[in-house]
């Protein structure tokens, strides 16, 4: 498993003169239900917690352990959410920037520069940004943000499962599966579902529940 390093952080400091860096990552972009969550972290001292990696490469037990260690290690962190209704009304591209700016503005100190996972800067003015594909696997700050974002969103989905039983939200965390689709067809969408997405085309009996412009759902499963 590839472990992240401080190389990207060192490169950005050398080329931009930035002192305080923030790592940013998102989770929930492809889910059919629940919030899009972005986490921003301001880095801590070296070394980073042992075993820190992109959250997608970690077991649930390791992520849970690292969440505690990362929270203690970073100088500060914050979350930004974009809700299902906002995603339906504004679209995913705008909501990525919205949630990221909410997270950055909630940090206890303003970073000089932001590191993003991905090829495009979705934060925008007035933030100074380096976007790098695969940064969640190469940058300790972005990997830390990915772990905190994943654990935070999974917790919110478990809470939603109690409010909206029958959809398996604690297990599928909002992503589509055969059982999740069957529940939508039987029970209808909740306010937490992104009803502008194309999966709703398969449930015409709930057409009256849709909002926003139709968007393609990104993932199934």
Q: Which of 25, 28, 52 is nearest to 39 (CA)?
A: 25
Q: In terms of Cα–Cα distance, which of 73, 68, 65, 52 is closest to 1?
A: 52
Cα angle 25-26-32, degrees, rounded to a multiple of 5 = 170
CA 9, CA 189: separation in Å to the nearest integer? Answer: 43
CB 166 within 8 A of CB 189: no
Q: Burial letters for 142-175: b for 16+ Cβ neighbours within 10 Å, e otherwise? A: bbbbbbbbbbbbbebbeebbeebeebebeebbbb
- List binding-site positions: 25-26, 117
Distance CA 58, CA 16 (A): 32
Can you say which residues are annotated as belonging to the binding site for a divalent metal cation? Answer: 25-26, 117
DSSP class of 45: S
| 139 DSSP β-pair partners | 5
What are the backbone angles phi and psi of residue 33, rounded to the nearest 5°?
-145, 155
| Number of Cβ atoms within 10 Å of the Cβ of 8 | 21
């Amino acid at each position: 498993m590839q472990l992240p390093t401080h190389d990207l952080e060192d490169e950005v400091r050398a080329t931009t003169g930035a002192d305080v860096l923030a790592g940013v990552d998102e989770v929930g972009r492809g889910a059919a239900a629940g919030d899009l969550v972005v986490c921003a972290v301001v880095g801590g001292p070296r070394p980073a917690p042992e075993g820190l990696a992109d959250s997608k490469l970690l077991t649930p037990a390791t992520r849970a352990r690292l969440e505690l260690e990362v929270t203690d290690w970073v100088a500060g962190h914050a979350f930004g959410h974009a809700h299902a209704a906002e995603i339906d009304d504004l679209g995913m591209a705008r909501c990525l920037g919205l949630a990221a700016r909410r997270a950055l503005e909630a940090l206890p100190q303003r970073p000089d520069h932001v590191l993003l996972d991905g090829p495009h800067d979705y934060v925008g003015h007035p933030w100074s940004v380096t976007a790098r594909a695969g940064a969640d696997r190469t940058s300790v700050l972005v990997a830390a943000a990915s772990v905190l974002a994943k654990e935070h969103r999974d917790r919110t989905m478990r809470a939603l499962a109690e409010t909206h039983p029958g959809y398996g939200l604690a297990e599928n965390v909002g992503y589509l599966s055969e059982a999740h689709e069957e529940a939508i067809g039987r029970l209808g969408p909740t306010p937490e579902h992104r009803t502008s997405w194309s999966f709703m085309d398969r449930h015409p009996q709930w057409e009256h529940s849709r909002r926003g412009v139709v968007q393609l759902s990104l993932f199934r499963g």
